[in-house]
Amino acid sequence: MMDQNELLANDPGSLFIAQLAQMYIDNGLIDEAIGMCEQTLKAYPEYDECRIILLKAYMIKDNFEKFIIHYDYLQKNAPSIPLDEFKNYRNKHIGGKDATPLHEEKKKREVVKEEKHEDVRELDKNISIIDNMENLIKEEIENLSNVIGVIVSDDTGIPIASHFQTEMDVDETTALIGLTINDMREALNIIELNSFNKIYIEIGKGIVYIFPLTESTFLTVIGTKASNIGMIQLVAKRLKEVMGDYL
């Protein structure tokens, strides 16, 4: 192989320089290709074939700053030369109306990835809110005597947060509470009342208190017959204020 200085000295405008630079690129000698092309272009700036090889080399090196200098030069001084193969790379860095579907696809993937990250962050936030709610319930329940458990659930019977002093089936209990709430609403509709502030139900061994937190979420306290309704109402009011913010 001829020395590059020898080639430049012999015929600097020759296509052979560009071909040699391309061979360097093909063999992974990118820096050598760049050196040779830059040196040639200093002396012969209109050697467009050489500049195109230089564009390829900078694209491979991901040196956009250098790449765009030569890209703009060619666009300005040799507009007839097609630069399609470089448009993707250019648009990736600066965007633009020429962005190809491939680029858009990549951009979309990035957006989806970001959305997924956002979802995970949101999920983490919600888990932390539920943890906070459960801790709050636990703290409050400890201040109350004769309380069996507290559940925050929605009107479809899905539990959101709960804490029980004794072993209970949370899903079954929440489902029954959901049914009760909906039946009570239907019952109130009969007399044209739309909502309730609280419901107190006394059953065999205990008492169920239901307090609406939002339009569709409810706080249910299950206590024994000895539970203190006044204290429960106070605690429910406090929980309602704090949980209302969470919900």
Partner 1 sequence: MIKEYLESLNEMEYVKGVILSDRDGIIIESLMSTELNKELLAAMAAKVASNIENNISQLEEKLNSQCIIFTDEVNIFFSIMSDIILILLTDTKANIGGIKLNMRKYVDLIHDELSG
Closest C-alpha among 198, 238, 201, 243 to residue 223: 201
Site mask for partner 1 (CB under 8 A), range 196-215, x = bound: xxxxxxxxxxx-x-------
| Interface with partner 1, residue 187, by CB under 8 A | yes
CB of 209 to partner 1, least distance (A): 10
> Residue 74 is encoded by which pair of tokens?
């060619």
Map tokens 């205990």 to a residue: 206
| Interface with partner 1, residue 2, by CB under 8 A | no
150 strand-pairing partners: 163, 221
Residue 207: phi and psi, rounded to 5, are -130, 140
Please list every residue from 6 through 65 that binds partner 1, using CB under 8 A.
none
| Interface with partner 1, residue 176, by CB under 8 A | yes
Q: What is the distance between the alpha carbons of residues 224 and 204, in angstroms, rounded to a whole number?
A: 9
Largest CA distance in the chain: 108
Please list every residue from 64 through 123 that binds partner 1, using CB under 8 A.
none
CB of 125 to partner 1, least distance (A): 33
Closest C-alpha among 187, 186, 177 to residue 212: 177
Q: Which of 60, 184, 234, 242 binds partner 1 (CB under 8 A)?
A: 184
List residues binding partner 1 (CB under 8 A). Answer: 172-173, 176-177, 179-180, 183-184, 186-188, 190-193, 195-206, 208, 222, 229
